[in-house]
């Protein structure tokens, strides 16, 4: 039996405990904490949190893609950049 994982479609509306990187088990809160500690780029967040390290996104992420889009959305939102 397959377990269905639910997620918030817009990561900006997700609770902090929701996973963003399912491969490395990195939550939205982990990413926000990294940003608060001066992580400013995707590379910074990857280095601090370990996100995007396993490479099994299509298999594990219920969005069916790499989590980098959600990480970038959080980074831009925290910087006040509404790109």
Tokens of 62: 């219920």
What does pTM read for this prediction? 0.87
For residue 82, name the pLDDT band (cuts at 50, 70, 90).
Answer: very low
Distance CA 36, CA 11 (A): 17
Residue 27: its H or E element:
strand 26-27
Per domain, the residue ranges of the chain are 16-78
pLDDT of 14-41, one tens digit each?
999 999 999 999 999 999 999 999 999 9
pLDDT tops 60 at residue 5 = yes
Distance CA 64, CA 9 (A): 12
* CATH 1.10.10 applies to domain 16-78: yes
DSSP 38-72: T--SHHHHHHHH-TT-S--HHHH-TTSS-THHHHH
pLDDT, mean of residues 50-71: 90
Model pLDDT, residue 15? 97
């Amino acid at each position: 039996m397959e377990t269905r994982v639910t997620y918030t479609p817009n990561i900006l509306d997700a609770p902090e405990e929701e996973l963003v990187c399912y491969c490395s088990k990195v939550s939205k809160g982990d990413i926000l904490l990294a940003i608060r500690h001066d992580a400013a780029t995707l590379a910074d967040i990857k280095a601090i949190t370990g996100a995007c390290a396993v490479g099994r996104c299509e298999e594990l992420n219920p969005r069916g893609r790499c989590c980098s889009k959600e990480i970038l959305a959080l980074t831009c939102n925290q910087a006040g950049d509404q790109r």
